[in-house]
Structure 1
Amino acid sequence: MVSRKQERLLRYVEDGNVLKVKSYLRRHHGLSVTFRGRKGRSPLHVACSQRDDAITRLLLQHGADPLLQDHRGNTPLHLAARQAVKRGTRVYEDLVVPLRKSCPAAMDVLNREGLTPGDLLGSMKMRQQCPGAEEENETAKGQADREWYQKLSAECEAEFYTQCGRYEEDLSTGEAEPETYDTWADRLAREYAAKRCRGAGNSWSREQWAKEKEWEQQEQEHRRYLEQAQRLQTERAASHKQRYERGCAHIFGQGSPGTGTPLSYSDIPWPAPRGTVEEMVAVILHGVERGDPGVYRRYLRGQQVMWHPDRFTQRCGDRLAQADRQRILDTVIALSQALNRLADGAR
């Protein structure tokens, strides 16, 4: 039975978005990537059929099973071998080699046609020995270069939208990305340059240099976009935290309004009035120094006391508007439970 998380992962693999696949697997550590979707194909099958070597390597690192067979008995290595036969040596190096290293036994698995990946790769060798194969391979290399450049631009755009908050699921709080942006950009630049050099040698044409210059300009512009997005995100988070603290002082402080004024749901100083409990917790923890365990635990205890259901009812229970009373209490309980879980994890 495929879970909703696995369905979302499979959709990201089908879209070919390696950044979102990597981010999703990092946030959902331990999620199994070996499962069957449509036509009995796993995410690794899909990545191989789309010639996506980056996602293929990523799935293998997270334990994808190269021996899993689809409804036709094909393993991911069968699909990679067929792509290598069609596209040439470049696809063989990017897809077949990592799969063979990960699971050498997959080379001898028979599909329902009675063929192994080794049989398919044998036809590739015969094709390369035929007249005209060299010219065909050169054409395939040029096509692979264009596809790599388009994929690189798409990944840059996808990461920009992710950082700016276009994808809501990427806004959840989690551990920091192990690979920084600078490291990621440098690595992609080296891989791109290496792929171009393998296809064209050391002599680059003016068109190739122009494309390389254009890519560098896009990378610099992308960096500026991310820096601006980070500043805006930090300023927005600080503004939400200040509004939250002012609201708490106004409602829960000694100078709070009298009991004659009923409190509706919108009057309660929620950290994120229209957000989820996780987003509320993110606002509460913004700017809190987590490097000092003592300071962090004392701050959490203060927030636990503030949002404890019994303490909240003592302070504001008589002032709650009857129409919103149950909704307010349910939200207070959910927020209190989330803070208790954080406090338990900080011990």
Structure 2
Amino acid sequence: MVSSRQKRVLRYVEEGNLLKLKSHLRKHPDTELNFQHGRKRRSPLHLACGLRNDAVLRLLLERGADALQRDRRGNTALHIAASRALKHGQTAYNDLVIPLQKYCPVAMDMPNYAGVTPQDLLEQMKAEQVCVFGRARERQLHDLPQEGSSQAKLDSESQWREKLLGECQDEFFEAYGHYDDESLGDGVDPEDFGQWADRIWREYHGKRRAEARRRVESEEQRVRRRRRPENTDAEAGRELQTRLEREHAEYVERAARKTEEVLRGRRRRYEERCAVALGSDGQEELGYADIPWPLPHGSVSDMVAVMLHGAERGDPAAFRRLLRRQQALWHPDKFTQRCGGRLREAERQRILDTVTALSQELNRLAQSVR
């Protein structure tokens, strides 16, 4: 599965954006570059060779890209580079083949699934050059002058060279297979430049419209205040005080509701963890973090508050029942019988000290209720 960071690497390689790729790899140095993507199972290094981007190729090699990684047909990056050199000549050879050959010399003799090595491709390139230029030189030395203008002779010579080159390429592609520019970028990011520009335009104009609405509302409020001259400073002060008190009461109510939700959620998670971690059938070793403390980083009183949340002291019978259940759960002797053999030795004393403190706090509450 290709991650979002790897999708960015593919996008920057396809765009040939060396600066963004370098910045992305500097920010995320642990990004894995030796992954395969698309139906051809090609890596970013294959993609850089297919696009003839030597700067991106050198950066990927510096970042640890695997030059021996194969695609679906067994081709390494050097196979792709050699095919580009065969098609585009010396420039592609210098930009792609030489860096890969220096970085991983053994890749020259690595065959693909058809048994063709990069060395075979490069030898065919040399033979093709000899074939083209040798035939052209032979024709220049031995051809007799032909009738017609000099322009006609040049056109005939150009047609002959193109035909000869095409025949040599056809012979090679028939023997070894054609490394064409198939869709290298199967995993393009779903948002292209046009979609990105449309989204930025919509966000910008949305902000402008919201700002215009705020200005209009502010102006309307200012006009309404002008139309009420009877509204004295004292009345304005009373309105402000009333509004502040109302907002404060709403804030206090929201805070209390939020606190109630947090405590209820902690109580529910505490009970679920107790049923799992402290069950009689548990076999795994328990460390301090594995014990279902009501509030792992809180004080003992805070833990007890979470345990007893939801039990009203106005109902003494229900409160005592909940208190007795928690006392039995955290009694040191019962806790040791239930979980003592599973405690991690390095944290055993710390766990038992916390259990003892919880038990003492529960006993103190039980005495106050009586």
Tell whether the structures are fold-level matches, with TM greater than 0.5: no
For the pair shown, the structure with the greater C-alpha radius of gyration is 2
Which of the five TM-score ranges fits, normalised by the shorter chain?
Answer: 0.3 to 0.5
* TM-score between the two structures when normalised by the length of structure 2: 0.38
